[in-house]
Amino acid sequence: MVLRYNVRMANENDKINEAEYFYMQMLNAGEEVVLFKHNLSAFLSSSRTVLQFALEDAKRKSGGQDWYVKTVSKYPVIKFFGDERNANIHKEPVHVSKDVHIQLCSTLSVTVHIGVMVKDTDGKIKGSFESKSDSASKDKWVPPIVSYKYRFDKWIGTEDVSELCKQYIDVLKVVVNDGQTKRYLS
């Protein structure tokens, strides 16, 4: 017996999920710039499709296209990613720069010797205490911490690719939610 069932999601939400998948793959790529760029390319395509589906859906409703144009034009990140996707598809692969951050750490051991004398009111020594130094304490080697960040060459903001992609996903969700709330999108 074969059971078949159809899982139907709004096209826009399905593509948002796909974009989030490729976003997570980018985050997991680490220093592998080729993997990062392949997943970024897939992210650009799937995330752009969210808006293409939204436009087609909105066109079928009275005032939908006007809503779409007005809403999408509010977000510079949408224009940027649209341009990046178009260039990636029609001109050349997406360009990113890779920043490598290396944090070097070291430990420093300090030995302190403390001596204390206790005197009575006549100035006679009643007792003394001396701390013992820990001669076993030695400097430890701490491996460097290496992290990678990718930047879009054409983005004028301070966000790296990961931060900007997350912003874009969040904006796409806002647009789709707004369209669904106003009944321009299914």
Instruction: Count how many domains the chain has.
Output: 1
Question: How many other CB atoms are there within 10 angstroms of residue 157's CB atom?
Answer: 13
Per-residue pLDDT at 50: 96
Amino acid identity, position 42: A
Query: Is pTM beyond 0.95 here?
Result: no
How far apart are the C-alpha atoms of 73 and 87, rounded to whole Å? Answer: 19
Query: Under a CB-based contact definition with an 8 Å cutoff, are residues 118 and 125 in contact?
Result: yes
DSSP-H helix ranges across 1-73: 11-28, 33-59, 64-72
Residue 138 domain-assigned (yes or no): no
How far apart are the C-alpha atoms of 174 and 113, rounded to whole Å? Answer: 63
Residue 143 domain-assigned (yes or no): no
Burial profile 64-98: b = 16 or more Cβ within 10 angstroms, e = fewer = beebbeebbeebebbebbbebbeebeeeeebebee
Q: Enter the tokens of residue 99.
A: 């920043």
Residue 88 domain-assigned (yes or no): yes
Q: Is 41 exposed, middle or buried (0-12, 13-18, 19+ CB in 10 A)?
A: middle
Per-residue pLDDT at 4: 58
Residue 80 domain-assigned (yes or no): yes
Residue 128 domain-assigned (yes or no): no
Residue 101 belongs to what domain range?
11-108+159-181
Residue 168 domain-assigned (yes or no): yes
Q: What are phi and psi of 96, to 5 degrees?
A: -135, 155
Residue 173 domain-assigned (yes or no): yes
pLDDT tens series, the chain, 186 aa: 666 554 444 689 999 999 999 999 999 988 888 999 999 999 999 999 999 999 999 999 999 999 999 999 999 999 999 999 999 999 999 888 888 888 887 766 666 667 777 777 777 777 776 766 655 556 677 888 888 788 998 898 999 999 999 999 999 999 999 999 999 998
Question: How many other CB atoms are there within 10 angstroms of residue 183's CB atom?
Answer: 11
Query: Under a CB-based contact definition with an 8 Å cutoff, are residues 16 and 176 in contact?
Result: yes
Per-residue pLDDT at 2: 67
Q: What are the angstrom distances between the C-alpha of 62 and each of 66, 68, 69, 158, 181?
A: 9, 11, 13, 39, 15
Residue 78 domain-assigned (yes or no): yes
Per-residue pLDDT at 31: 80
